[in-house]
């Protein structure tokens, strides 16, 4: 506990969510309620966003769209790394219970593009933290596969107008995850 602050029970519970959220790679075969996903999106949209641009779009993917993405990834990967590697990834991807792709509206100038991208990253963090508070794990993927023009076509957006910030896989974790961080003293600099 930091000497400057005394956490209250609610803020300590929130701090615990922040400390324990981890990337999940293995999920149970249990679907997540669509109501929980919508609650997560509702909270995600409260992320800070300069000039209230709200540059995000949340594409919640159903089985047909997921199937198209898995098929596309298989064909691209088979051409690059062979059918065995593509099939292995296809089998792994087929076990992921929840899929979402988050896009960011592009802006005319580079500063606004950075601000919009940062806002969408904050929104994704909000989404993942809320899901973790409901014992739902996530993985934020930024694979090069997402830049394939066919992905935008499958999802129905114009790459000139939007870009993908991440593919979010979600579901109930198959195992407990732990991690550590370096001490605050190693990453904090006080300037006069």
Q: Which residues of the chain have pLDDT under 70?
A: 1-7
The architecture of the domain spanning 28-60+98-173 is 3-Layer(aba) Sandwich (3.40)
This prediction's pTM: 0.90
C-alpha distance from residue 11 to each of 4, 8, 39, 125, 155 (Å): 14, 5, 20, 17, 38
Q: pLDDT value at position 9?
A: 76
Radius of gyration of the chain (CA): 19
Domain extents in the chain: 28-60+98-173
pLDDT digits (tens, 9 = 90+) for 25-71: 999 999 999 999 999 999 999 999 999 999 999 999 999 999 999 99
């Amino acid at each position: 506990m930091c000497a400057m602050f005394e956490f209250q029970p609610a803020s300590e519970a929130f701090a615990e969510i922040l400390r324990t959220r981890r990337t999940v790679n293995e999920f149970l075969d249990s679907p997540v309620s669509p109501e929980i996903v919508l609650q997560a999106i509702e909270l995600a949209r409260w992320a800070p966003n300069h000039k209230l641009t709200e540059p995000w779009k949340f594409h919640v993917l159903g089985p047909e769209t997921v199937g198209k993405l898995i098929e596309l990834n298989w064909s691209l990967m088979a051409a690059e790394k062979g059918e065995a590697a593509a099939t292995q990834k296809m089998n792994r991807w087929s076990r992921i219970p929840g899929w979402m792709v988050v896009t960011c509206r592009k802006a005319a100038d580079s500063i606004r593009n950075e601000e919009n991208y940062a806002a969408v990253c904050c929104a994704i963090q909000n989404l993942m933290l809320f899901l973790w508070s409901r014992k739902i794990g996530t993985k934020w993927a930024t694979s090069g596969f997402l830049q394939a023009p066919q992905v935008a076509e499958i999802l129905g957006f114009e790459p000139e107008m939007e870009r993908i910030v991440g593919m979010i896989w979600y579901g109930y974790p198959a195992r407990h995850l732990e991690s550590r961080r370096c001490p605050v003293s190693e990453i904090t600099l006080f300037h006069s």
